[in-house]
């Protein structure tokens, strides 16, 4: 399918490709829906095997941001950007960050960037030398992952309640895939709440950190998804749960930080439902980071941002309940977000 057809199918407003002659930067910005506000979403630096893979990623991620912010009650729309690096672990430079900042600036606030996989507050600082349309610099929000992690833990509480378990992590086993920024912060919070942790990462030093600091048990990266646990918490990349993996899961709950965990929202969501695994859709569980950064960008007081992160628990519970009468958790969450967008439109028309 060509790009315009894909955009039409998923409702995207804009997709823009950029090549910077000086630095060689290759990047794509996608804005999905700006009904509620500017397209807000992080910048991902990744080595994609093909350009089509990068496009697929940025389209899915930007759409997810629309639903995520709407469901979280943050008046921004959905956007995302990706930088296509020439190889894995390609070092980030100030020149590249500035080039990306100039690209973001051409949108004059219609798209607002922030961190995502492969992008640190340092990189956002470099982008911010060229544009004011970013959040998550060292002096403006910083690393959002502690907020994302707190939101995921709040969503886990809802899932425990939903399956009739006490909302108490003592004795609960949580398997975390990916001990990066989000996964490590979730491990820290859950360790404090008495959970037993099983972790895996493709980087051995990240695993060691979680073992040493939070008493986690390490397993091989290819074993974590099918490890026996109460809660499976995917915190690496998307598309990890599909028709091959879901039948082998040995958990009661899937609730994590990674975006687009399901390879196919509808089919895989229905498979999880058929297996009676409670699934908190990723964009509901992991909204803490965007609540914090977009909230700051919008000058929302700290108390209002914190309240929305606490509210992830009630929103998750509502969606888990709605999902019982719908084909999948994903469908229930998108319907919830669409209702929020429709309500906002009605309010604008009523004025
Ligand atoms: P990160 O890069 O810090 O961590 C990802 C970790 O996953 C890395 O340590 C990496 O080595 C590991 N990993 C990659 N493939 C793996 C595999 N197959 N098995 C095991 N480990 C693997 O990124 P992050 O900021 O922690 O984000 C993690 C996920 O959460 C991403 O999908 C991101 O889009 C999403 N997310 C992050 C935030 C945030 O606040 N940072 C907010 C919302 C969503």
The reply to whether 248 belongs to the active site is no
Q: Mind listing the domains of the chain with CATH numbers?
A: 3-63+78-128 (3.40.50.10860), 145-288+313-337 (3.40.50.720)
Of 274, 239, 273, 275, the residue nearest 256 (C-alpha): 239
| Ligand 1 centroid to residue 348 C-alpha, Å | 37
Q: Are 116 and 42 in contact (CB under 8 A)?
A: yes
What pLDDT sits at residue 282?
95
Give the model's pLDDT for residue 264. Answer: 93
Parallel, antiparallel, or unpaired for β 217-218 and 111-112? unpaired
245 lines ligand 1 (CB under 6 A): no
Which residue has its alpha carbon closest to ligand 1 atom 4?
Answer: 180
Cβ–ligand 1 distance for 117 under 6 Å, the answer yes
Partners of residue 111 on adjacent β-strands: 39
pLDDT tens digits for 149-172?
A: 999 999 999 999 999 999 999 999
Q: Which of 68, 80, 157, 196 is catalytic?
A: 80
Asked if 321 and 162 count as a contact pair (C-beta separation under 8 A), the reply is: yes
Q: Which long-range contacts (CB under 8 A, 24 or more apart) does 13-18 make?
A: 13/39, 14/39, 14/110, 15/55, 15/58, 15/59, 16/107, 18/103
Ligand 1 contact via 204 beta carbon (within 6 Å): no
Q: Which residues of the chain have pLDDT under 70?
A: 348-349, 351
Given the CA of residue 181, which atom of ligand 1 is nearest to it? 26
Confirm or reject: Cβ of 220 under 6 Å from ligand 1: no
Which residue's CA is the closest to the ligand 1 atom numbered 8? Answer: 180
How much is the pLDDT for 45? 97
- For residue 347, the model assigns a pLDDT of 77
For residues 253 and 273, is the Cβ–Cβ distance under 8 A?
no
């Amino acid at each position: 399918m060509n790009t315009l057809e894909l955009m039409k199918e998923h409702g995207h407003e804009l997709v823009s490709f950029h090549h910077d002659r000086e630095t060689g930067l290759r990047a794509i910005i996608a804005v999905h829906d700006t009904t509620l506000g500017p397209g807000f979403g992080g910048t991902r630096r990744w080595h994609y095997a093909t350009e089509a893979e990068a496009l697929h990623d940025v389209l899915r991620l930007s759409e997810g941001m629309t639903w995520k912010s709407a469901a979280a009650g943050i008046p921004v729309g959905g956007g995302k950007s990706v930088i296509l690096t020439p190889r894995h672990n390609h070092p980030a430079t100030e020149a590249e960050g500035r080039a990306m900042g100039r690209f973001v600036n051409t949108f004059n606030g219609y798209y607002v960037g922030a961190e995502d996989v492969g992008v640190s507050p340092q990189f956002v600082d470099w982008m911010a030398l060229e544009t004011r349309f970013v959040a998550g610099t060292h002096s403006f929000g910083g690393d959002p992952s502690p907020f994302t992690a707190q939101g995921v833990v709040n969503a886990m509480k809802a899932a425990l309640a939903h399956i009739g378990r006490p909302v108490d992590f003592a004795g609960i086993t949580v398997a975390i895939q990916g001990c990066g920024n989000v996964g490590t912060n979730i491990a820290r919070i859950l360790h404090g709440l008495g959970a037993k942790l099983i972790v895996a990462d493709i980087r051995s030093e990240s695993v060691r950190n979680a073992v040493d600091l939070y008493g986690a048990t390490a397993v091989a990266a290819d074993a974590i998804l099918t490890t026996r646990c109460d809660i499976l918490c995917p915190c690496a990349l998307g598309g990890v749960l599909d028709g091959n993996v879901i039948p082998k899961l040995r958990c009661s709950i899937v609730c994590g930080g990674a975006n687009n965990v399901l390879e196919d929202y509808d089919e895989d969501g229905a498979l999880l439902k058929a297996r009676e695994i409670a699934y908190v859709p990723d964009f509901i569980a992991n909204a803490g980071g965007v609540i914090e950064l977009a909230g700051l960008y919008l000058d929302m007081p700290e108390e209002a941002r914190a309240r929305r992160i606490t509210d992830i628990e009630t929103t998750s519970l509502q969606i888990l309940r709605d999902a019982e009468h719908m084909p999948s958790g994903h469908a229930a969450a998108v319907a919830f977000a669409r209702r929020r967008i429709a309500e906002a439109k009605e309010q604008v028309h009523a004025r």
